[in-house]
Structure 1
């Protein structure tokens, strides 16, 4: 998404959707990193919790459901949905929404994460039944990882208090679950079987952002971007180096990020003609020298020489 945000033409009709999706993914990634710190302090049990991150399981033949973090214990299971929201967050489960208020921004209505994890639990139970797995209690939590976020409750206070916590409270909440479910339900065999099936049936999404947003090669901005002034005005190749006309920055390797963007967004392979068009070069021997210096492997075929871009 970062490469697409950088390379997509700003006048593309879905550019704002691309920027928004990139922001969501960045916030989610930072949220997961923040939660990892608290996951290191899970209560010590025997056997220990098995943690499955971004578990994506089949729901129907054509659909899947995904959970941020799934904790498996012989006594119970816990679904953790991580939210890295900022500002003031007013939970209103009566109307299935969270109202986000950020300074100097209009109010924003977000989907209800309590309903989201409830649906995840329902689909997880259906999946377990379809595999003839023993059922065990399932708890679900929304973990707010932004320490500066302010949480308010507009309706159904008890429901919100049961399911929404800030990250530092995770340890104590899990301790409470261990007290609530003192009896072991899963045998060692069933525990291993569920773990193995989680790993076996986990299906990472293969949807490319290019496909998701209907991007075609002509929607991608060509050229080598300056890494100093972060302008999309292309640098020019001059006497074996790239020169930025905007800030006068000079670099011999500024093409490497551009090649990585090409591999991620268009194709992992490229020929000399395509390389000249993309890097805005005139001479075939210049393009050949640049791609060879990047360490790219090459393949000779009846259609010419193709280079495999190293990422």
Structure 2
């Protein structure tokens, strides 16, 4: 049996998180922000320079992890006790985070900072997938992105090459 070193680490993803403690400050080197994770990995590599497993030996572990993975049935709307009607809809500006952007001549344009982007809708559709459903219809896409033209929404779907199910009416696209 190989002796495998185990390290504990607390990674803070929110940059505004503040942790205060009255205990021993030696725990501070076990706490890091997500932006510093690469540095921590490098520190561990220096601390443990000798590889314990080869890539070939790790492969069965990796396969077992992928096989054992089961997606969560987490419903964020239910967890936070909100409805779809409570969600702010539209495409968020990647530059200034203002909502919503306006669709003009094949681009999304921010009415505040005037930033233009061709694919700003992709982030909004990722949010839709996480919050509402893995599938979307053209009508749902128009409503969620704040688009008035179903044809424009359909062109966006075609450009993303999304797989679909169903006939022409009520067709669902897989995000």
Q: TM-score normalised by the shorter chain: which range applies?
A: 0.5 to 0.7
Q: How far apart, CA to CA, are the structure 1 residues paired with 2:77 and 2:127?
A: 12
Q: How much has 1:216 moved relative to structure 2? A: 1.9
Q: Partner residue of 2:107?
A: 241
Partner of residue 276 from structure 1, selected from 123, 142, 163: 142
Larger relative contact order, structure 1 or 2 (CA cutoff 8 Å, min sep 6)? 1
Q: Are residue 229 (structure 1) and residue 96 (structure 2) matched? A: yes
Cα RMSD for the two superposed structures: 3.6
Q: Is contact 1:86-1:146 (8 Å) kept?
A: no
Paired residue total: 142
Q: How far apart, CA to CA, are the structure 2 residues paired with 1:202 and 1:255?
A: 29
Q: How much has 1:207 moved relative to structure 2? A: 2.8
Q: How much has 1:215 moved relative to structure 2? A: 2.7
What's the CA shift string for 1:262-301, capped at 9, x where partnerless?
1111111111111111111112211100111122112224
Q: Decide whether aligned partners of structure 1 residues 257 and 90 sit closer, same or farther in structure 2, where only a CA change above 3 A counts.
A: same
Partner of residue 3 from structure 2, selected from 15, 31, 48: 48
Q: Partner residue of 2:117?
A: 251
Q: Partner residue of 1:156?
A: none
What's the CA shift string for 1:10-30, capped at 9, x where partnerless?
xxxxxxxxxxxxxxxxxxxxx
Higher gyration radius (CA): 1
Q: How far apart, CA to CA, are the structure 2 residues paired with 1:258 and 1:300?
A: 23
Structure 1 residue runs without a partner (length 5+): 1-45, 52-70, 72-77, 93-141, 148-167, 173-194
SS in 1 for 2:125: helix
Q: TM-score, normalised by structure 1?
A: 0.38
What's the CA shift string for 1:18-76, capped at 9, x where partnerless?
xxxxxxxxxxxxxxxxxxxxxxxxxxxx5131x8xxxxxxxxxxxxxxxxxxx5xxxxx
Q: Is contact 2:110-2:116 (8 Å) kept?
A: yes
Q: Is contact 2:162-2:174 (8 Å) kept?
A: yes
Partner of residue 10 from structure 2, selected from 76, 79, 82: 82
Q: Is contact 1:226-1:249 (8 Å) kept?
A: yes
Structure 2 residue runs without a partner (length 5+): 33-42, 48-60
Structure 1 or 2: larger strand share? 1
Q: Partner residue of 1:297?
A: 163
Q: Decide whether aligned partners of structure 1 residues 202 and 226 sit closer, same or farther in structure 2, where only a CA change above 3 A counts.
A: closer
Q: TM-score, normalised by structure 2?
A: 0.65
Q: Partner residue of 1:217?
A: 84
How is 1:178-217 mapped onto 2 (pairs within 5 angstroms)? 206-217=73-84
